[in-house]
Structure 1
């Protein structure tokens, strides 16, 4: 029996043989790649289990040593006051526990460095402790400067050398990565070239077996498949192909009509969604696709993708509920969240519902939100206004009731001051009594200003001369003489009452100076923004505790022993009467910044 030669094989048989050969080649290549993965895994294990932990612990110890060096230098300068040893021990213990909790125990290869660092701590906790217990602060300082510092510098040098050795080891392992990848790339390029060359040869041989009409029909079908629905094929002379060509033309025209209907409907629905003031994010769990309408893109960003969500959730965990809820699989309705933005924080009302298909099966979720920032601010302003009105009414009544008997007391005290001899005035403490009466009068004036502040006499003028006028008065106070002032305000014309503005800046600057205990720097700077002129008053004090920030504009809220708690409230009301705004921009351990926003000339809010 005669064997069938390749020339007599069918087109299907030839294609199957070619596919079998390609499968064999690719399978062989996959075995090589599997072996390469083992090598790369070995290199990766060396880096992650040896090099990286060593780098982490070496960097941690170097940082700890630098901070300990600064700490003991400060201790020597302050003669080891303020529980120096307890704070040193707590700092050492907290740093060690934090690293062990995050990265585990130090590698065995670094046990010698761990012992040296512990020995260094022992020098403080044992030797220096002994000297301080016998009140030998000079001996302790001498021990630290001559013995402890030398040992610390030696350990720092050894740590630096060890870190360089680890870097060299890490670079060696990384070079192995490069060699493995380069070798496999070369192999892949060789196999790819072989496959491409073989495919070209086979394709050429197979194409010769096809007729010209079929090739032409294939080319035109590609045109239709690429999206040019409605494109028709020219009828060939081959009778067998004409029914097929007519059927293809009918199909192409029908696809064109259907596509136009679907596209028009899609555009209409997208326009509806984009016209809504509600941000809508749909997530299809089957395909992993995420779609955003225009309102959602303006908040989240048009480049947002589903794969970005895990990293955003990780960054936002515990501090940014918007992304936490966006990634949540739970369904909820009308949850209020805050979204930090560049200009200001926005408040959104967010909900999440199920996304179902035509069979009512859940295929994903719909996350939608609406901006209620203006509503929240309006409600807050209404609540604040109502509260101030009630408090102001009470304050006005109390102030009037107190002022009348106080005037009598003040009159009698002044009469006694004029008529009594100096000796009796000292016995009765008249100077102190008159001073305290004046202080009560000042408090009453603040209460009356809170109850019914005078309408501002607005005039157009720049703000810098107003601030410059009150600085000499402020500097006369003993507690403000060591304060350095930096004023940088643009000559922007504003509508303001100079007298009331002096009161605002006086209150804010006095608060900053008292927070810094009379020493530090206060910066007053201004910048134009859209529709407003923003003035920032920044100090380098210890900051305002977060628990006090929510109530600091409330009347009578104060942390000062002799404060009335009305300074910020009055300043805020004055800014309200100027159609402006006073708010706390930021506060941390490095300082506090208040912002005053004035409407620019010609822009009345």
Structure 2
């Protein structure tokens, strides 16, 4: 696969160039330090052994040191400009050989104490140009040193200092010993360089693997769907992943020293030994039900804690909806059977009462009792009808209509209701065309809105909003009372359950059945701080 191969080559080149640049910089720094020490040594000698005027050697020494500084400056500018390639390395080695040759010539060639500079040049070549470069530098050093000796022997060059005896035997000894030392150092330096390169390569691979693992770990922690929080032994939070911030609606960066109890109250309570449990947490986005797993950590002798959790709020809501639907289905079946059994004898009772009314011989007291019997039988008949509407609501006859118009008309109609007197009503309705049964949905709105008006009373506020949410239309009815106890929220849609005196508990049950028959859902939340909100979710597509 060519594309991946090219990508690998492109990624592999910069580390090698960076490594060569680093070596060049360090060798340049080393040369600068060495030359500076040489300058200090020459200056110290002149100060300790003052003479009337500097000798020729001292003058040449200062000149060579100045040229080296100039060469180092130019070379440093080249490196700064990005010229850190193999040619720059060759140039540095050649420069080192020239400097060594000049110093050896100025200090007596065969008697010079600076012949070790050739060895340093060979070592530098090994570092920059591997083992083959070291051998070439050794050969060039040997050739330069031999040429200096021959040139002085044949008096082609005259060094400033006395050279001493340069007989054939001494010349052969100097050449042999220095050439042997140069090539031995080149071989040793080349071997050590190869070993160092191999070790460095392995370390680079390990470092690259560790970086990949670190990147993979960070990606896993950042993208895992479960929330993850770690804290130290004192409970101070040390890490929060992206999912935890989203679930708890946290700021991207927590203040230093944030305690775990401020994020997950009770997470480290007496039940911490339970590895899996649920915890309800109040967040800026509302109450959340979390499934927690708490695990102790061991790090350097100090224990920390790892908390992994999932947001179970929606799952628990779905489970509650299913349980409610099952209960309502069972109650609906029972209600239908009871209503059927009650309706027939009730009709017979009412018919008999009507016959008693027609009997003119009945005394006034009996007539009054018969009137009470008729009134109560009518009330019972209406209650039976309500039971039947709840138990067997007629299937909705859906028509695609402008839902915002239906909602606005219903709200305007209810403004005349005595319960809505002095209650502020706000509407924010987005235009939406939704398939619904207009009469049934109007009944749902009337039941919920009248409850809201009654709960808020005079001076309260009610807000009705309609918006699109993906494939659904969300109709929210909010009131400022927030008067439904938390213990009653799970039972509010059950039939015959009512907190209002005289209520049958069938209004919200019927509303729930109608919404479910439309393929939607209805939910409620309530608190004195946030008010009460009914959320009706209706599918946009029939």
TM-score in terms of structure 2 length:
0.57
Q: State the distance in 1 between where 2:238 and 2:482 align.
A: 45
Say whether the 8 Å CA contact 2:485–2:526 is kept in structure 1.
Answer: no
- Partner SS for 1:556: coil
**Contact kept? 2:237, 2:258, Cα under 8 Å:** no
Compared CA separation, residues 416 and 338, structure 1 to 2 (3 A): same
Count of residue correspondences: 376
1:337 aligns with 2:284: no
Closer/same/farther in 2, CA of residues 542 and 340 from structure 1, 3 Å limit:
closer
Alignment counterpart, residue 295 of structure 2, candidates 353, 357, 369? 353
* The one of 393, 403, 413 aligned to 2:343: 403
Give the aligned partner of residue 328 of structure 2: 388
- Taking structure 1 as the reference length, the TM-score comes to 0.51
Give yes or no for contact 1:483–1:521 (8 Å, CA) kept in 2.
Answer: yes
Q: What is the root-mean-square deviation of aligned Cα atoms in Å?
A: 4.6
1:446 to 361, 386, 401: 386
Corresponding residue for residue 543 of structure 1:
483
From 206, 210, 233, the equivalent of 1:258 is 206
Change beyond 3 A, Cα 1:421–1:598: farther
1:412 to 330, 352, 368: 352
Superimposed CA distance per residue, residues 485-518 of structure 1 (whole angstroms, 9 cap, x where no aligned partner) = 5555333111211121122112112222333457
Cα distance, 1:541–1:334 mapped onto 2, change above 3 Å: closer
With over 3 angstroms needed to count, the CA separation of the structure-2 counterparts of 1:432 and 1:593, relative to structure 1, is: farther
Task: Specify the alignment match of 1:577 in structure 2.
Answer: 517
By how many angstroms is 1:362 displaced? 5.8
* Deviations 1:295-330, CA, capped at 9 Å, x for gaps: 3354355834582522x734x5xxxxx355279995
Paired with 2:421 and 2:354, the residues of 1 have a C-alpha distance of 32
1:299 to 247, 250, 254: 247
Unaligned runs of 5+ in 2: 1-36, 38-64, 81-88, 98-116, 128-188
**Aligned residue for 2:504?**
564
2:318 corresponds to which of 371, 378, 383: 378
Distance 1:411 1:477 in 2: 35
- Pairs within 5 Å for 1:204-603: 238=117, 239-240=119-120, 242=123, 250=197, 253-274=201-222, 276-283=224-231, 290-299=238-247, 303-305=252-254, 307-310=256-259, 313-314=261-262, 322=264, 324-325=266-267, 330=272, 332-340=274-282, 345-356=287-298, 363-417=303-357, 420=360, 424=364, 427-467=367-407, 470=410, 485-516=425-456, 522-541=462-481, 543-588=483-528, 592-599=532-539, 601-602=540-541
Match for residue 147 of structure 1?
none
Deviation at 1:403, TM superposition (A): 1.2
Give 3-state SS (helix, strand or coil) of 2:275's partner. Answer: strand
CA deviations over 1:12-47 (Å, ceiling 9, x no partner): xxxxxxxxxxxxxxxxxxxxxxxxxxxxxxxxxxxx
| Distance of 1:422 and 1:520 partners within structure 2 | 53
Give 1:529 shift: 3.6
Change in CA separation of 1:427 and 1:305 when aligned onto 2, cut-off 3 Å: same
Offset, 1:290: 3.3
Matches of 1:338 and 1:484, distance apart in 2 = 34
Secondary structure of residue in 2 paired with 1:325: coil
User: Structure 1: any 5+ residue segments left out of the alignment?
Assistant: 1-10, 12-207, 224-231, 317-321
Where does 1:83-162 land on structure 2 (aligned, <5 Å)? none
